[in-house]
């Protein structure tokens, strides 16, 4: 039974689960194209109410399945360069001839309020995010089980021309060599297992002492409620 004189905000309405105030996690998922970070990101967003997607800006063309402002903010190269020059981007990168970046202001606001932020970005962006905000960043690199499977996934996606697929496969060899830059490695040979691994990583990172900013008030409340 949680004592009624604990600090305000330390218990939820049914008094069965204590939720300490905490700083949010910046969870970065990176992978070669086709390895599954997009699918895993969607699963996480669909099943976890405490995490929001950081919507990147990009200069590439919109795919038929994508919605502006939901999957990306699509913009011109000139607008992108203006944002970068103005310090409005947490990270930026050129990938397959297009530019990508993450607006910094909504990310900082979210994690300060205790919301987790999910980044579905390439390894270059992941490194920049880590360099800019190292204490808040948790980086996961997703690997395919084989190059053959990676090719099949890109072909089944049916959103890129054959020459683009070949370019993505060539780039994947270099991208996969960046795995030592990440905190965790997940091999996506089974979607359910890979998703369970990511959920476990996020759960553990949320419990880290440094992020649980409400611990001090909670402990003082426990001590204050103890019998004299």
Instruction: Give residue 80's pLDDT.
Output: 97
Rounded CA-CA distance 83/129 in Å is 16
Structure pTM?
Answer: 0.80
Instruction: Give residue 163's pLDDT.
Output: 83
State the average pLDDT for the chain: 88
pLDDT, one tens digit per residue, over 24-76 is: 999 999 999 889 899 999 999 999 999 999 988 999 999 888 999 888 999 99
Decide: 102 and 112 in contact? Cβ < 8 Å: no
Residues of the chain with pLDDT under 50: 1-15
Instruction: Give residue 40's pLDDT.
Output: 96
Decide: 28 and 119 in contact? Cβ < 8 Å: yes
Angstrom CA distances, 193 to 48, 60, 206, stand at 17, 32, 20
Enumerate domains of the chain plus CATH numbers: 26-209 (3.40.50.300)
% of the chain residues with pLDDT over 70: 92
Instruction: Give residue 17's pLDDT.
Output: 80
Instruction: Give residue 13's pLDDT.
Output: 38
């Amino acid at each position: 039974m949680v004592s009624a004189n604990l600090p305000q905000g330390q218990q939820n309405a049914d008094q069965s689960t204590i939720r300490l105030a905490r700083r949010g996690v910046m969870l970065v998922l990176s992978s070669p194209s086709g390895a599954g970070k997009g699918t895993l990101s969607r699963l996480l967003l669909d099943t976890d109410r405490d995490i929001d997607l950081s919507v990147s800006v990009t200069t590439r063309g919109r795919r038929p399945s994508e919605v502006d402002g939901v999957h990306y903010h699509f913009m011109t190269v000139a607008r992108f360069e203006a944002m970068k020059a103005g310090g409005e981007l947490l990270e930026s990168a050129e990938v397959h001839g297009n530019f990508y970046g993450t607006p910094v202001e909504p990310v900082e606001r979210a994690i300060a309020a205790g919301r987790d932020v999910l980044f579905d970005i390439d390894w270059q962006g992941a490194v920049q995010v880590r360099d800019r905000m190292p204490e808040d960043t948790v980086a996961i690199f997703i690997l395919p089980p084989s190059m053959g499977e990676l090719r099949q996934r890109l072909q089944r996606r049916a959103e890129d021309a054959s020459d683009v697929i070949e370019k993505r496969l060539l780039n994947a060899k270099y991208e996969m060599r960046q795995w030592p830059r990440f905190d965790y490695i997940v091999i996506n040979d089974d979607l359910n297992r890979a998703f369970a691994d990511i959920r476990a990583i996020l759960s553990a990172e949320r419990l880290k002492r440094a992020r649980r900013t409400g611990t001090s008030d909670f402990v003082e409340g426990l001590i204050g409620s103890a019998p004299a």
